């Protein structure tokens, strides 16, 4: 059985700026803002950003060591460990999040519930959809989301790559 998979949409440069212009803005809270800011500005995948622990961050030099993910083997895609740089916007948001969190030891998840458990894929999807409705990039009719541009959280990664290639 063969099927054609539709390509996910990409954000415009202005949309990439607008959805993160205010903290927390359309994201509703600091965790939602920061988790998607890292996806958008650092190109991190969902499995990588949700598995992020404070010990992977160097907020002084602005780097993230991506060495884990919520995958079958616990490693990033293709088992490729890497370091990535953060923008000052990411660093500022992470510092604020760290100041307001009860879970800040090196082995604690950056994006966690009140009990310290990591945020999951359902939380990620719901946060994204709600924010996109508030940003007027999606619509909600009843319990269904209308997404004609096929914007997904992974669209941030595609959008970043598109913008960087055009720079």
pLDDT at 2 over 70: no
The phi-psi region of residue 160 (left if phi > 0; otherwise alpha if psi is between -120 and 50; otherwise beta) is alpha
pLDDT higher at 143 or 29: 29
Question: From start to end of the chain, where are the E strands?
Answer: 57-58, 63-66, 82-85, 139-141, 144-146
Per-residue confidence (pLDDT) for residue 3, from 0 to 100: 66
Q: What number of H helices and E strands is found in the chain?
A: 6, 5
Average pLDDT, the chain: 94
Tens digits of per-residue pLDDT, 59-75? 999 999 999 999 999 99
Contact, 40 vs 16, CB < 8 A? yes
**How many residues would you count in the chain?**
167
Coil, helix or strand at residue 73: coil
């Amino acid at each position: 059985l063969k099927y054609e998979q539709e390509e996910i949409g990409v954000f415009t440069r202005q949309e990439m700026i607008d959805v993160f212009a205010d903290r927390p803005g359309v994201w509703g809270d600091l965790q939602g803002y920061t988790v998607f800011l890292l996806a958008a500005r650092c190109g991190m995948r969902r499995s990588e950003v949700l598995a992020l622990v404070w010990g992977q961050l160097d907020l002084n030099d602005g780097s993230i060591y991506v060495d884990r993910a919520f995958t079958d083997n616990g490693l990033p895609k293709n088992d490729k460990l890497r370091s990535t740089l953060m923008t000052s916007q990411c660093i500022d948001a992470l510092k604020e999040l760290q100041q307001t969190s009860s879970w800040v030891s090196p082995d604690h998840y950056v994006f966690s519930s009140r009990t310290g458990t990591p945020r999951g894929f359902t939380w990620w999807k719901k946060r994204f959809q709600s924010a996109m409705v508030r940003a007027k990039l999606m619509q909600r009719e009843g319990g269904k989301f209308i997404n004609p541009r096929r914007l997904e959280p992974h669209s941030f990664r595609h959008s970043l790559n598109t913008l960087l290639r055009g720079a």
